[in-house]
Amino acid sequence: MADLLNGLLNDEVLKRLPGDVRVPGDRPDRSGILHIGAGAFHRAHQAVYTDDTDWGITVAAPSSRGVIDALAAQDGLYSVATLGAPGAATRDGVSMRVIGSIVGTLHIASERDRALDLVAAPSTHVVTLTVTEKAYRDPQGVPRLLADGLARRAARGGPPLTILCCDNLPDNGTTTRAAVEPLLDPATRAWADAHVTFPSSMVDRIVPASTKATYERALGELGVTDLAAVEAEPFTQWVIEDDFAGPRPDWNATFTTDVAGWERLKLRTLNGVHSTLAYLGALADIETISETLALPGAEDFARWLISEQIAPSLVPPDGQDTVAYGEAVLERFANPGIRHRCVQIAMDGSQKLPQRLFATMLDLAEAGIDLDLIALPLAAWTRFCAGKSDAGNDLPLDDPLKDVLRQSLAAAGPAPAARIDAILGIRQVVPEPLADNHQLRRAAAKWLRELDRHGVATTLEHL
Ligand code: CS2
């Protein structure tokens, strides 16, 4: 009904949008970038950086086609609402910008051949990826597509190509290369060694999944329907390893030779605390991160976790201080305009916690530092995996290792120590040295007993 009355966002209506909405200038007529993964994060991050250049993007969705169909119907246009900016230009702390960098769409599942052609096309210089952590472990999925596309490019003697991972993984360029390389035939492998690079990058912007409220806000601010609208926080950062095989857009990002330090700082501090709050909040039946942070004791706990466990586990990149970085992260988490749901961040814990939590624990254990505080998020995840909140409500366990997690916990029975040992024994998730770290096991079992008996709210309040 809304679209019948108001029409869709498209090139036609751009000049009639309210004056305080920022709109793209001349739109690029071709795409040098193929982006795989059409999620909200891409639309609020890389596509915005690209909108500030003269490059265009063809955005490819691996399976679900909702977003790309919406984009196709809107000439690739969509809006980003920036929420909670202190001095935001428009009403209610919202600033609206229409992004014009997406100039083509592609549905991989039904247009595989076109996808391979785009990987091979001489006009494609950069392939960027936001396909989530688990996609790199599925050789038949995105890695296979890239390998087959590279084979076609190599066979045609195509120009060099940069494959740029934008997922929250440590050494994400190396991880991507390691997923693709074993799938290459010898000739393609030899060609790729000389013509393809896999730089690492650290990406950062809090972008909750779009909801009905996102689309309603877009309609209210734009006066037309935008079925691909996203909303995001004001902060945005992109640190990219300067290792491009061919041309690249003039992104307003930080290009450096050392991304690893940035990745570690961000994954352990921002994402580690994010996951911690997500499991605590979900168990307490709290909907969002900002509301979880407001629980008595939660912010103090997050602060201790950062200063006493995360900071001693890492060497921050030049000029950074982990505690100060963490303070800024907590301020971002508290942004009341951002309704980032705990259960969204709680997804795929088995794929996220290795780099967000277990890597920190490993380094602390090696340095002989006590693991007491960081054992609490482990206990919270263990309790979350069983699927019931403190009040007995169902919690969704959306995780590729769901069956392994559930079966291990069921076999362990009710005792907290046995449940912690069951989780620590899952080798695909937990690095071996942690499985028999007595201090970690004891601390996590103690926290799990507290959570079982008193729930999250009381446990945090009495820390
Ligand atoms: C979040 C991230 O969903 C999650 O797991 O921790 O998406 C987080 O919001 C981004 O990494 C922020 O840059």
User: What are the DSSP calls for 93-139, one per residue?
Assistant: GEEEEEE--EEEEEETTT-HHHHHHHHH-TT--EEEE---GGGGG-T
Q: Which atom of ligand 1 sits closest to the CA of residue 345?
A: 3
Same domain for 365 and 250? no
Q: Is the CB of 42 under 6 A from ligand 1?
A: no
Looking only at the bridges linking them, the beta strands covering 254-256 and 237-241 are: parallel
Q: What is the pTM of this model?
A: 0.96
Query: ipTM score of the complex?
Result: 0.99
Of 29 and 154, the structure prediction assigns the larger pLDDT to 154
pLDDT category, 86, cuts 50, 70, 90?
low
Number of domains the chain contains: 2
Contact, 164 vs 124, CB < 8 A?
A: no
pLDDT category, 93, cuts 50, 70, 90?
confident
Q: Is the CB of 204 under 6 A from ligand 1?
A: yes
Same domain for 301 and 388? yes
Q: What percent of the chain has pLDDT over 90?
A: 95
Tell me the C-alpha distance between 134 and 399, whole Å: 9
Residue 64 has pLDDT above 50, yes or no: yes
pLDDT category, 130, cuts 50, 70, 90?
very high
Report DSSP state, residue 368: T
Same domain for 340 and 193? no
How many CB atoms lie under 10 A from the CB of residue 314? 19
| Ligand 1 center to 359 CA (angstroms) | 17
Same domain for 363 and 313? yes
Same domain for 367 and 232? no
How many CB atoms lie under 10 A from the CB of residue 354? 19
Q: Specify the pLDDT at position 5.
A: 52
Tell me the C-alpha distance between 251 and 239, whole Å: 10
Same domain for 155 and 139? yes
pLDDT category, 92, cuts 50, 70, 90?
low
Tell me the C-alpha distance between 318 and 386, whole Å: 41
| Ligand 1 center to 274 CA (angstroms) | 7
CATH number at residue 375: 1.10.1040.10
Only one residue has tokens 């009905």, namely: 212
pLDDT in tens, 359-404: 999 999 999 999 999 999 999 999 999 999 999 999 999 999 999 9
Same domain for 175 and 75? yes
pLDDT category, 1, cuts 50, 70, 90?
very low
Which residues make Cβ contacts (< 8 Å) with residue 141, sequence separation at least 6? 62, 131, 135
Same domain for 77 and 49? yes
Rounded (10°) CA dihedral 241, 244, 247, 253: 0
CATH number at residue 170: 3.40.50.720
Q: Is the CB of 168 under 6 A from ligand 1?
A: yes
Q: Specify the pLDDT at position 205.
A: 98
Q: Specify the pLDDT at position 327.
A: 98
Query: Best mutation site among 132, 264, 274, 279 for ligand 1, i.e. most ligand atoms within 8 A of its Cβ?
Result: 274
Same domain for 286 and 195? no
Q: Is the CB of 313 under 6 A from ligand 1?
A: no
Query: Best mutation site among 45, 270, 275, 381 for ligand 1, i.e. most ligand atoms within 8 A of its Cβ?
Result: 270
The token pair at 401 is 């290792």
Same domain for 358 and 430? yes
Residue 34 has pLDDT above 50, yes or no: yes
Contact, 455 vs 390, CB < 8 A?
A: yes
The token pair at 106 is 């592609």
Q: Specify the pLDDT at position 298.
A: 98
Average pLDDT over residues 43-50: 98
Q: Which of 202, 226, 256 is the last residue of a domain?
A: 256
Same domain for 164 and 139? yes
The token pair at 462 is 């009495």
Q: What percent of the chain has pLDDT over 70?
A: 97
Q: Is the CB of 274 under 6 A from ligand 1?
A: yes
Average pLDDT over residues 136-158: 98
Residue 439 has pLDDT above 50, yes or no: yes
Residue 2 has pLDDT above 80, yes or no: no
Of 91 and 37, the structure prediction assigns the larger pLDDT to 37
Q: Which of 256, 280, 302 is the last residue of a domain?
A: 256
Q: Could you list the residue range(s) of the whole structural domain that residue 124 is in?
A: 4-256
Residue nearest to atom 11 of ligand 1 (CA): 204
Average pLDDT over residues 205-212: 98
Contact, 133 vs 168, CB < 8 A?
A: yes
Q: Which of 193, 223, 256 is the last residue of a domain?
A: 256
| Ligand 1 center to 438 CA (angstroms) | 31
Four-residue CA torsion sign, 223, 229, 231, 235: negative
Contact, 395 vs 384, CB < 8 A?
A: yes
Q: Specify the pLDDT at position 30.
A: 87
Same domain for 93 and 145? yes
Residue 320 has pLDDT above 70, yes or no: yes
Mean pLDDT of the chain: 96
> 215, exposed or middle or buried, with CB in 10 Å at 0-12, 13-18, 19+?
middle
Average pLDDT over residues 196-224: 97
Q: Specify the pLDDT at position 87.
A: 52
Tell me the C-alpha distance between 101 and 53, whole Å: 8
The token pair at 307 is 């200063």
